[in-house]
Structure 1
């Protein structure tokens, strides 16, 4: 069997952005003085959706989006392309924090289920082509312990409002009839999930906003916020309201310990042959993940490649964000080995590798916050479930700021605040220790063919606050 070769391209904001390099819109740098009704800091999905819904609510508003680099520079342009129904955080924690118990978390879960189709409907209405396809998602169990975890996960999903039609268990034969993974014991199928091309979604939304009269500024970093004044390198903006939508890059504006940037890396193969696809299957274009503690996430792209990601080196000391996303060869090899184990006998060649960061709070729960007195709000902490969360969060921010009471403004992540992260070097040691425990747990379960989850993983999960 031929191994995956070292990638000829690394970083450069990743495969999705590279494919649009000559066909994407560009936007000016802000300079001088200005006033807007709404200033949005961050040109990713959250900021773009917030601008979209603010203009839908109040078409006469002057709205401007300020991006420090280029739009989609962060996770929005580099992610795995899952428009999924999973909310960002622990549903049990949200249920307790809300004071309304299960009903509150069920409402949150249902909003994310609805959000998948809502995004797809808007893309169709606005004429945005992001290679979207609603094929659902598969989660593969490679061990007996992994399958046991998936049964528990399904039960929790049903508890928090998903139906049997939304998520159900597959045995080995049923799973392999969809994607022919050699080592699978069975898995889960989630119906409310769609594949997208991340960068096409970014630029499709941006072009739509331009047509709505929203100003978009690139290379326009907001250095500080003092009252209603936003200061840039070459100018100042006075804003009646301000949304901070910077996710894993929020340290400067929200505080370095409010959430941290967790690194995730991806590779994409060169297009596979028709013979290879016949061996693999995957004709339903489902998104694909697995039940390992060091899990992967992947999709079959519109041009016949496999894009697959995993954590690799999870965290940079001092909350570093990694720039344009160069990825260590050891991480490329790690993800490549995982792909080869799924489909032995199929030849792959890596075309591009990259990394990016996602925003994670201390308990892995996201939150939407709006302060009426200061006129400043934020939506952050998506912990890897950002595509749908950004839609729901951006829309909710607009509704809160412009005093619309909706089903979203009453959700339990509105106003939620996690405790702060520990200072360095404690948090570096903690994050790396947690992922080390997960890696050792995977190795133990595979080696022992265990039917029970390793105690190491249980400890790591409780340390991170990941249990429902």
Structure 2
């Protein structure tokens, strides 16, 4: 273990790796014209651009990124490439395709993870296929995971795709203290988000996509947008700004920029690494109401994320990504609680924002008259979802009548979030209620979920 000071904020552990050779991109120096202008240089924007150029190489496709490619959640996330359900199934099933369409999306996500790894290169993005677990550590959590699996069966999810593990079986994947059982799915990789972004940039460039950064878009309207003092004209505009959508004029309440905080430890010693039994590189998350998600890195670190301070007033956010000391210590406490036998020290900490619609489900909204497509709202499950959304968006722009263009994600934008101060009060109060509910369940014991958590689910429209 070293004694160097923890690096807090900036761009996070992944993006600060010195050995990644990022392709050179330039900003906008003149007015430009293209067939499709994509606003947002994250995974969604790049996958959409690649899908368009692959389907029709004659199209001119430009991607405009405000900061640097990977600056947002796409380069700062926890590196879970999984087929976990994105959004609320019952909400998405209200569309014309019903339950069958939602189940079809689940199949597309399962095949999507392997397609992504094949396209970008397993070793080039440090992909390790260990699946994912959701671990229970109390009777109430155990009851919740059992109910989740039972409910998943009603949505056509087979045991080969999702199953319950005993405590002993769960510990074959990772030895987390007080484990009572777990949900397990084989459909998951851990990846390096920055290397993934770099490879996707190169894939897009090789397909003929034009990448622009820094190139902050403003005044997005029918057929054109502004980048600084320059005008960009396009037949179609795709807006893929996720949590940063609130910066756009008139969009402050469309998407909630929810904070997510991450911590990466210093490398574990060989003995510590052996003791936690995480060599299979499965992603792991918890079943408490205030959840965690974690994964090992290829150099034997632990990367763990949680909410921290969930939301700032008026949809604002700190671009520095710096965590307050309380959040750093809270995340470190979770690491030590999960793995009490190791003396993990924090090496990197940072935060980022993700985009959440009011109904907690992804949306690909089409304005046929303006020829503007708005894509996003993955609520923290965007690494695989962005690939699928990009293919869907491409089929819509190309006017293809396919199963993708009929996806339940293709729908009108949901209702807006509440105005301030209700938005700030609600988002932060809900997180506090979930924390209290965890405490109630821990003190009371038993298999029953706290009524406080059920109330919070109802208020959040997640139930």
TM more than 0.5: yes
Per-residue CA distance 1:211-260 (angstroms, 9 max, x = gap) = 22211111110111232121111311111111000000012336111111
Answering whether residue 71 of structure 2 is matched by residue 73 of structure 1, we say yes
Which of 105, 115, 121 aligns to 2:118? It is 121
Counterpart position of 1:388: 384
Question: 1:26: which partner in 2?
Answer: 24
1:29-83 Cα offsets, whole Å, 9 max, x none, are 1121111111110000000000000000110111111000001111001111111
Correspondences of 1:133-282 after superposition (within 5 Å)? 133-253=128-248, 255-282=251-278
Alignment of 1:362-441 (within 5 A): 362-441=358-437
The answer for unaligned runs of 5 or more in structure 2 is none
Judge conservation of contact 1:361–1:381 (CA < 8 Å) in 2.
yes
CA separation of 1:193/1:22 partners in 2, compared to 1, >3 Å: closer, same or farther? closer
Is 2:11 aligned against 1:16?
A: no
CA distance in 1, matches of 2:331, 2:214: 33
Answer yes or no: is the 8 Å Cα contact 1:111–1:408 preserved in 2: no
Distance 1:216 1:429 in 2: 39
1:104 correspondence with 2:101 = yes
Q: Give the Å deviation of 1:373.
A: 2.2
Deviations 1:320-341, CA, capped at 9 Å, x for gaps: 1320311111011111101101
How do 1:28-47 residues align onto structure 2 when only pairs under 5 Å count?
28-47=26-45
Residues 110 and 145 (structure 1), Cα distance of their counterparts in 2 relative to 1, 3 Å cut: same
Q: What TM-score, normalized by structure 2, do the two folds share?
A: 0.96
CA distance in 1, matches of 2:168, 2:3: 31
Asked if the contact 1:110–1:161 (Cα under 8 Å) also holds between the matched residues in 2, the reply is no
- Tell me the alpha carbon deviations over residues 382-402 of structure 1, each in whole angstroms, 9 at most, x when there is no partner: 001001111111111011110
Hey, what does 1:455 align to over in structure 2? 451
Question: Partner of 2:378: helix, strand, or coil?
Answer: coil
Partner of 1:320: 316
Q: CA deviation at 1:177?
A: 2.4
> Are residues 100 and 218 of structure 1, via their aligned partners in 2, closer, same or farther at CA, if it must alter by over 3 Å?
closer
The count of residues paired between Structure 1 and Structure 2 equals 462
Which residues of structure 1 form unaligned runs of 5+? none
Q: Is the 8 A contact 2:91 2:359 kept in 1?
A: no
What displacement does 1:372 show?
Answer: 2.6
Is the Cα contact below 8 Å between 2:245 and 2:252 reproduced in 1?
yes
User: Deviations 1:270-295 (Å, cap 9, x if unpaired)?
Assistant: 11111001110012110010101111
Work out the CA distance in 1 between the residues paired with 2:54 and 2:21.
27
Which shows bigger deviation, 296-305 or 48-57?
A: 296-305
